[in-house]
């Protein structure tokens, strides 16, 4: 019997959540190996650094193969288990898989750089005993509005970002979208009707619901 | 006969160069469609925005398929032309292709955010009549050193980033590495012997040499 996949992380981590959502979409059984993130700071110690030299979660172990970077883990899982669960990469169509890649890169290079600093300043900085910087939040809200304006147009042409199918391109957005909706600026999403409908659609998926409850950063 | 691929961009653009290097590695004929970047600011006008709503170069057109984001273009080209030129994605091995993806994501999420602000402040800002901000440069040099320390270790285990083979994971670094070596901080690369040897190796490839001459930002 094949060994169960091992995902090292913690449920509240946006990046670990990104890979957990994918594993659930694919119907892949895995063991979540909890990392002692806050007390022992295990991810910055040598045993963990031998798995990911950047000292970040998640890490996926599949037998002797060790992978890190959540988006790379998700491509691997989508490729290896292409015949089960949701087809997240459209492996039967060169054109559709190319569009999944385009909009996954948009997440990495347009959406994430705009939204992450808001998440960091509003939800993470207080966790580390730091005060949040409103000027940085305002600057990035402006960038996020521009990105979501493009999404609003795009979602008028196709149901999901890469086409009329849910894919990794949508999935990769979910943890940051979820945390952003906990901030006082969720209206930036809600005032764009197609983006709002897209978020309501993808966040109602079973695979996401299995993970959302663990994303507790910012809860009182 | 299949229509020639059309890449919209300018040779000095680091992102257009990223895709041109890939097209040359794959031995794919393409037409470079010059974008009037500085005078007409064509990439911010509606005809171009219909190809890439973010108003950035490059854009690849292959028949009716229009793609943007240089790294997504490169995956498409590597997939479509997998049987010619250099195998940049290791399509015959699930494990090797996963490691290409991991280190390509490292480029996107560790290397690029560290090096790009240095490139912007030192080489791009003056082009737009702005002064460069040394505090930002210093902050990002520190981040870049930490990333390159990881690379120095990694390149002691494998000849290239993803394994003992040149891949998209290496290729995606090249335009920023090239421009960084024009700054006064090239010693940050050169004082790490394996990173230096890796850069000398990959920058001596024919496909890169065809593109390097056009990357003229910062030349007097």
pLDDT tens by residue, B95-148? 999 999 999 999 999 999 999 999 999 999 998 899 999 999 999 999 999 999
Contacts of A59 (CB under 8 A, 6+ apart): A7, A8, A9, A48, A51, A52, A66, A67, A68
**Of A21, A46, A40, A47, which is closest to residue A32 (Cα–Cα)?**
A21
The reply to whether B98 falls in a domain is yes
**Nearest 5°: CA angle at B143, between A183 and B119?**
95
Given A69, A102, A108, which is nearest B67 (Cβ)? Answer: A102
Within-domain flag for A213: no
Contacts of B49 (CB under 8 A, 6+ apart): B43, B55
Which residue in the set B54, B67, B97 is minimally distant from A110, CB to CB?
Answer: B54
A86 falls within a domain: no
Nearest residue in B to A69, CA atom: B102
Would you say residue B219 lies in a domain? no
Q: What was the pLDDT predicted at A1?
A: 54
In this structure, the answer to whether residues B158 and B127 fall within a common structural domain is: yes
pLDDT score at B153: 98
Query: What is the share, in percent, of chain B residues with pLDDT greater than 90?
Result: 96
Nearest by Cα to B203 from B27, B17, B79, B8: B17
- Whether residues A98 and A200 share a domain: the answer is yes
**Domain coverage including residue B171:** 94-206
User: What pLDDT, on the 0 to 100 scale, is given for residue B3?
Assistant: 83
The two tokens of residue A87 are 């087809």
* B196 and B162, same domain (yes or no): yes
Q: Which of A80, A106, A134 delimits the end of a domain?
A: A80
Residues of chain A with pLDDT under 70: 1-2
Task: Please indicate, yes or no, whether residues A198 and A122 belong to a single structural domain of this protein.
Answer: yes
Q: What is the pLDDT of residue B1?
A: 54
Chain segment A7-29, per-residue pLDDT in tens: 999 999 999 999 999 999 999 99
In terms of domains, do B58 and B107 share one?
A: no
CB contact under 8 A, A104 and B72: yes
Angle between the N-to-C axes of helices B193-202 and B134-157, in degrees from 0 to 180, rounded to the nearest 10 = 90
- Residues A112, A67 within the same domain: no
Q: What is the CA radius of gyration of chain B?
A: 17
For the complex shown, is ipTM > 0.95? Answer: yes
CATH number of the domain that residue B156 is part of: 1.20.1050.10
**Cα Rg, chain A, nearest whole Å:** 17
Q: What is the pLDDT of residue A82?
A: 95
Residue A163 domain-assigned?
Answer: yes
Look at residues B80, B98, B100 and name the one whose alpha carbon lies nearest to residue B88: B100
Q: What is the mean pLDDT of residues B23-34?
A: 98
pLDDT at position A3: 83
* One domain, residues A115 and A199: yes
Is B154–A53 a contact, with Cβ atoms under 8 angstroms apart?
yes
The answer on A187 and A104 residing in a single domain is yes
Let me know whether A184 and A147 are in one domain.
yes
What pLDDT, in 10s, does the model give residues A32-58?
A: 999 999 889 999 999 999 999 999 999
Q: Is residue A40 part of a domain?
A: yes
Q: Report the pLDDT averaged over residues B70-91.
A: 97
Collapsed DSSP state (helix, strand, coil) of residue B100:
helix
CATH number at residue A61: 3.40.30.10
Considering its fold, how many domains does chain A have in total?
Answer: 2
A91 and A97 Cβ atoms separated by less than 8 Å: yes
Q: Provide, as residue numbers in chain B, all residues whose Cβ is less than 8 Å from the Cβ of A113.
A: 113
What is the overall mean pLDDT for chain B? 97
∠ at Cα A134 (A130, A138), nearest 5°?
140
pLDDT at B85 over 90: yes
Written in H, E and C, the secondary structure of A71-82 is HHHHHHHHHHCC
Q: List residues of B whose CB lies inside 8 A of any A CB.
A: 53-54, 65, 67-69, 71-72, 75-76, 79-80, 94-95, 97-99, 101-102, 104-106, 108-110, 113, 150, 153-154
Quick: pLDDT tens for B158-192.
999 999 999 999 999 999 999 999 999 999 999 99
């Amino acid at each position: 019997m094949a060994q169960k996949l091992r995902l090292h992380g913690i449920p509240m981590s946006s990046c670990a959540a990104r890979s957990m959502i994918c594993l659930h979409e694919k119907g892949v059984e895995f063991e979540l190996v909890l990392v002692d993130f806050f007390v022992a700071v295990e991810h910055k110690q040598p045993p963990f650094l031998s798995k990911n030299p950047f000292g970040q979660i998640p890490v996926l172990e599949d037998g002797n193969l060790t992978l890190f970077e959540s988006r790379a883990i998700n491509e691997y899982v989508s490729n290896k288990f292409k015949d089960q669960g949701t087809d997240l990469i459209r492996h039967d169509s060169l054109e559709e898989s190319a569009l999944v890649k385009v909009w996954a890169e948009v997440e990495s290079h347009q959406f994430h750089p705009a939204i992450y600093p808001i998440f960091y300043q509003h939800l993470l900085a207080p966790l580390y005993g730091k005060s949040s910087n409103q000027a940085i939040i305002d600057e990035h809200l402006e960038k996020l509005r521009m990105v979501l304006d493009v999404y609003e147009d795009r979602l008028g042409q196709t149901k999901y970002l890469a086409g009329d199918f849910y894919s990794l391109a949508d999935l990769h957005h979910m943890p940051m979208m979820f945390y952003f909706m906990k901030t006082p600026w969720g209206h930036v999403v809600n005032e764009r009707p197609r983006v709002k409908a897209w978020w309501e659609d993808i966040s109602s998926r079973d695979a996401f619901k299995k993970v959302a409850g663990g994303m507790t950063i910012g809860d009182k």
